[in-house]
């Protein structure tokens, strides 16, 4: 029984015809390894930006249906070109758009989720020896309407295909060499991880590491599909394998440090201290589709019988949030101001091994204290601790934590990650 490998190539990997030839070589090598290969491709380089620009020329607010029609053409180009490049090397290949590949989604434009993938035709093609090239970032509804999956969609398409085809692995080829212990632009001696668990990857992604979109990791976790993130330009580097925590060789206390500079902190001052007020506030925000990340409610002041509620949101939701809060102020009896701080950063450490190691949180706080970094909010999950700090001190905090948790490394070898004595 031949194994199926799903490969996914992002826009930078297919940015021009020379790069497409390079991708064809990678695909053919996997086929030569004795595997069946299904390739998922994004639109070439800046195609999507170019298409969006033309749309904005024509309409300030183009309909989502027509945007989906427009953007889906980008992958139409790259799949056909890649199939040609593979064929020109003497291999049988066929390209399919989402409609032809049978990638069925919800009937929601611009952020549709995949419902089902019809694999009969694909399996027959593989049996016939064909390499299949499929358009990422698109799907089709039962009614034949073209949809797109929203951010991270091509990765998610690839993972969903791997799950539907019961593939051995899904390889995400991109312009980075793998998942790093932290952003190498902040810490130059950050090291590439050989492996990481789905859960850690999810926390890193949510904490601001942009390698993979959380939805693709969630889909991989749900279907137990091993994911490999690697560079399409440095092939001697195997990248990072993302897999179930039970299958990992090494369970480090801290796998990585992340920073997220996209959040804003809001403090609603002098909120009446009575039941149901916080619920009203956050259900209002939820109804406006605003995601709230960290939340802190202060102790109630005895004199005024009020407290302050602080939380963080994505900066892109700031205006929407302030409008929602303003409309709510009278209703819940807020007497104080609404304070906004955009000069903040969320610094997080992530590691599946921190559960059994109580010293991790205190080492984090001590490290930040030694650097004179003031912690303004804290939130924790089972495998993550996040601290809100001043934006100006964020890089310094990341560097110090990276060193403190023994993540510094000079080569791309695997990180030891032993917890130092604390």
**Residue ranges binding a copy of itself (CB under 8 A):** 17, 20-21, 51, 54-55, 57-60, 62-63, 65-67, 69-70, 72-73, 76-77, 79-81, 83-85, 87-88, 94-95, 97, 99-100, 144-146
DSSP codes of every residue in 195-243? EEEHHHHHHHHHTT--SS-HHHHHHHHHHT--EEEEESS-TT---EEEE
In the complex, minimum distance from the CB of residue 25 to a copy of itself, in angstroms, rounded to a whole number: 12
Q: How many CB atoms within 10 Å of residue 361?
A: 15
- Taking the least distance from each CB to a copy of itself, the nearer of 18 and 246 is 18
Min CB(257)–a copy of itself separation in Å: 42
Q: Which is nearer to a copy of itself, 20 or 26 (CB)?
A: 20
**Spatial separation of the C-alpha atoms in residues 292 and 265, rounded to whole Å:** 10
Smallest gap, in angstroms, from Cβ of residue 323 to a copy of itself? Answer: 26
Q: Rounded to the nearest whole angstrom, what is the least distance from the CB of residue 7 to a copy of itself in the complex?
A: 18
CA distances from 342 to 187, 223, 415 (A): 23, 38, 34
Q: Which is nearer to a copy of itself, 80 or 278 (CB)?
A: 80
Which segments within 4-81 are labelled E, that is strand? 4-9, 36-41
| Paired strand residues for 171 | 7, 228
Which residue from 255, 235, 247 is spatially nearest to 180, judged by alpha carbons?
Answer: 255
Shortest Å, Cβ 41 to a copy of itself: 12
Residues in the chain: 422
Q: Which is nearer to a copy of itself, 50 or 333 (CB)?
A: 50
Minimum distance, C-beta of residue 99 to a copy of itself, in the bound complex (Å): 6
Q: Are 81 and 17 in contact (CB under 8 A)?
A: yes
Residue bearing tokens 């056909």: 80
CB of 69 to a copy of itself, least distance (A): 4
CB of 64 to a copy of itself, least distance (A): 11
| Residue 7 or 148 having the CB closest to a copy of itself | 148
The full DSSP string for 260-281 is E-SEEEEEEEEEE-STTHHHHH
Q: Which is nearer to a copy of itself, 17 or 291 (CB)?
A: 17
Q: Which is nearer to a copy of itself, 65 or 234 (CB)?
A: 65
The DSSP annotation for 111-179 comes to: SPPEEEE--HHHHHHHHTTPEEEEESS-EE-TTS-EE---TTHHHHHHHHHHHHTT-SEEEEEESS-S-
How many Å apart are CA 363 and CA 358, to the nearest integer? 9
Give the nearer residue to a copy of itself in terms of CB position, either 95 or 219: 95
């Amino acid at each position: 029984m031949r194994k199926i490998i799903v490969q996914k190539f992002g826009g930078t990997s297919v940015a021009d015809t020379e790069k497409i030839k390079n991708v064809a070589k990678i695909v053919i090598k996997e086929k030569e390894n004795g595997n069946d290969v299904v390739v998922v491709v994004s639109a070439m380089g800046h195609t999507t930006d170019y298409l969006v620009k033309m749309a904005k020329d024509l309409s300030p607010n183009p309909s989502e249906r027509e945007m989906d029609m427009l953007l889906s053409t980008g992958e139409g180009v790259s799949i056909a070109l890649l199939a040609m490049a593979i064929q020109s090397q003497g291999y049988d290949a066929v390209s399919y758009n989402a409609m032809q590949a049978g990638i069925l989604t919800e009937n929601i434009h611009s952020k549709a989720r995949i419902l089902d993938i019809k694999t009969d035709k694909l399996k027959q093609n593989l049996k016939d020896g064909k390499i299949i090239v499929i358009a990422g970032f698109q799907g089709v509804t039962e009614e034949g309407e073209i949809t797109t999956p929203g951010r991270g969609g091509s990765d998610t398409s690839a993972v969903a295909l791997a799950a539907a085809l019961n593939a051995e692995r899904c390889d995400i080829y991109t312009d980075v060499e793998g998942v790093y212990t932290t952003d190498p632009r902040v810490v130059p001696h950050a090291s590439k991880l050989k492996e990481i668990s789905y859960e850690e990857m999810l926390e890193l992604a949510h904490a601001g590491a942009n390698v993979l979109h959380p939805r693709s990791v969630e889909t991989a976790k749900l279907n137990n599909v091993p994911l490999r993130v690697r560079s399409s330009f440095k092939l001697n580097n195997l990248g990072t394998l993302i897999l179930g925590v039970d299958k990992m060789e090494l369970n480090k206390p801290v796998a990585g440090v992340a920073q997220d500079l996209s959040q804003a902190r809001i403090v609603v001052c002098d909120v009446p201290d009575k039941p149901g007020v916080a619920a009203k506030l956050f259900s209002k925000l939820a109804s406006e589709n605003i995601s709230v990340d960290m939340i802190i409610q202060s102790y109630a002041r005895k004199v005024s019988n009020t407290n302050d509620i602080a939380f963080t949101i994505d900066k892109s939701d700031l205006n929407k949030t302030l409008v929602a809060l303003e409309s709510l102020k009278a209703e819940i009896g807020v007497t104080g101001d609404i304070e906004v701080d955009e000069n903040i950063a969320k610094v997080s450490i992530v590691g599946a091994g921190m559960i059994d190691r109580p010293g991790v949180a205190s080492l984090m706080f001590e490290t930040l204290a030694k650097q004179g970094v003031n912690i303004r909010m804290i939130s924790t999950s089972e495998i993550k601790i996040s601290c809100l700090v001043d934006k100006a001190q964020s890089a310094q905090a990341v560097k110090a934590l990276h060193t403190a948790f023994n993540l510094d490394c000079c080569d791309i070898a695997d990180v030891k990650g032993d917890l130092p004595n604390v």
